[in-house]
Structure 1
Amino acid sequence: MTKLIGYARVSTRQQSSDRQETDLLAAGVRRDDLYRDHGVPGARASRPNFDRAIDALHAGDTLVVTTLDRLGRSTQNMLALSEELRVRGSGLRVLNLGGGDVDTSTPMGSMLFTIMAALAQMELEVKRERVVDSVSKRRKAGMDLGGRRQSISESQIRNAVRLVDGGEPAAQVARDLGMSRATFYRRSRALAD
């Protein structure tokens, strides 16, 4: 008896795979045949539950994903997956490709899969390029790059208090430290206690 094996993946623990799971269940995947990876980036070749999903496939079964990028972003890895599915006698169904099966054992299906894999990798590379470009532009403009704030030492707070005592505006000193005026006052009071 052939089965649909579903696979859902999100890159970070904070993300939810609920939408993917809903779509996979609506496509006919049974809840028992649904594998999920949370906090696993697509660029990583080894994903624990993805490996289990592949192991669950038998001849005639179909691997179902919502989008091609859930499988990964490297063309090389996706082509290796295509070959592995072909050897197993299993198919692949990508729901965002019109819901049709992409039969990687046929020349047309193999070509479509290869093109889509290359596009997924290109999308990743374009995204990386945009991030690098944005960071360099923000850095040149002296803008905040985001991320975790640097911790401000007690010594820096003491020096900032001296500046304020010397007549510098507290708001400007706090801004130069990268904190709000209220946080600056709270930190300076904590040192005084």
Structure 2
Amino acid sequence: MGKLIGYARVSTRSQGTDRQVTDLLGAGVRRDDLYVDHGVSGARASRPGFDQAVGALHEGDTLVVTTLDRLGRSTQTMLELAQELRQRGVGLRVLNLGGGDVDTSIPMGSMVFTVMAALAQMELEIKRERITDSVEKRRAAGKDLGGRRQTFTDSQIRTAVRLIESGDPVAQVARDLGISRATLYRRIRNLPSTATV
């Protein structure tokens, strides 16, 4: 019987893989056969931990992931991976797919995987459409789109200019304001009718 090779991934460094790791270990994956990517998007073609996991697979082994989206973002990518693994004689097991455990080494599991991969991509595309639509509506209505707001008034920047002119170091004034020197210089340059430093 082949080995179970586990793979866990989170998209940002602030997220944790603890739950995925616990589920994979609970499914029988040995800790030595577990590969993890931290802060790596599923949209990236090359993921170091994923590449190591796939490289560790031999005929008869099974790649185990907790959810379908750990494998990638597009149906095409996921189906190509499933096909590649099948050709190598490697199984693919998704622990939480459709409320159950799906194993692509059996025909029913392979069919369910294909359908769920298509649904996962469709869900992602619907989310993108909603976001794009929302941004367009907010822009058309002249509403705020978010992003960084200008925190300092021209009056505050003029005060910073006076401090610099009186001998305070630019770096210190910028630090006290909580902005970079480059930002302070840019704001000073953009002040209407003010002498630059």
TM-score range, shorter chain: 0.7 to 0.9
Aligned to 2:159: 189
Corresponding residue of 1:32: 32
Q: Which residue of 2 aligns with 1:93?
A: 93
**SS class of match (1:46):** coil
What is the alpha-carbon distance in structure 2 between the residues aligned to residue 142 and residue 8 of structure 1? Answer: 42
For the 8 Å contact 2:102–2:112, the answer to whether it is kept is: no
- Counterpart code for 1:145: L
Per-residue deviation, 1:152:
6.8
Give the Cα–Cα distance (whole angstroms) in 2 for the partners of residues 17 and 189 of structure 1.
Answer: 48
Q: What is the alpha-carbon distance in structure 2 between the residues aligned to residue 143 and residue 21 of structure 1? A: 43
Task: Tell me, yes or no, if the aligned pair for 1:64 and 1:95 is still in contact at 8 Å.
Answer: yes
Q: For the residues of structure 1 that align with 2:126 and 2:149, how far apart are their CA atoms?
A: 29
Q: How many residues align?
A: 162
- Identity %, equivalent residues: 71
- Distance (whole Å) between structure 2 residues aligned to residue 100 and residue 88 of structure 1: 21
Give the distance between the partners of 1:122 and 1:74, measured in 2 at CA: 9
Structure 2 unaligned runs (5+)?
A: 164-197
Task: Answer whether contact 2:62 2:93 (CA < 8 A) is retained.
Answer: yes
Q: Which has the higher helix share?
A: 1
- 1:133-152 equivalence runs, <5 A: 133-147=133-147, 149=148
State whether residues 61 and 91 of structure 2, in contact with CA within 8 Å, keep that contact through their aligned partners in structure 1: yes
Hey, what does 1:181 align to over in structure 2? none
- Residue 190 of structure 2 aligns with which residue? none
Name the SS of the counterpart of 2:51 in structure 1: helix
Question: How far did residue 9 of structure 1 move?
Answer: 0.9
Moved >4 Å (runs of 4+): 150-153
Shift in CA distance, 101/113, structure 1 to aligned 2, threshold 3 Å? closer
Q: Which secondary structure state, in structure 1, belongs to the residue aligned with residue 96 of structure 2? A: helix
Unaligned runs of 5+ in 1: 162-184
Query: Could you report, residue by residue, the CA deviation over 1:68-88 in whole angstroms, capped at 9, with x for unpaired residues?
Result: 011012111111111111112
CA distance in 1, matches of 2:84, 2:42: 18
Counterparts of residues 57-96 of structure 1 (less than 5 Å):
57-96=57-96
Q: Which residue of 2 aligns with 1:118?
A: 118
Give the CA RMSD over aligned residues: 2.2
Does the Cα contact within 8 Å between 1:102 and 1:112 map onto a contact in 2? Answer: no
Contact preservation (8 Å) 1:91, 1:101: no
Which residue is equivalent to 1:173?
none
Aligned to 1:176: none
Structure 2 residue matching 1:95: 3-state secondary structure: strand
The AA in structure 2 aligned to 1:125 is: E
What's the CA shift for 1:116?
1.1
* TM-fit CA distance, 1:188: 5.0
**2:58 is paired with a residue of what secondary structure?**
coil
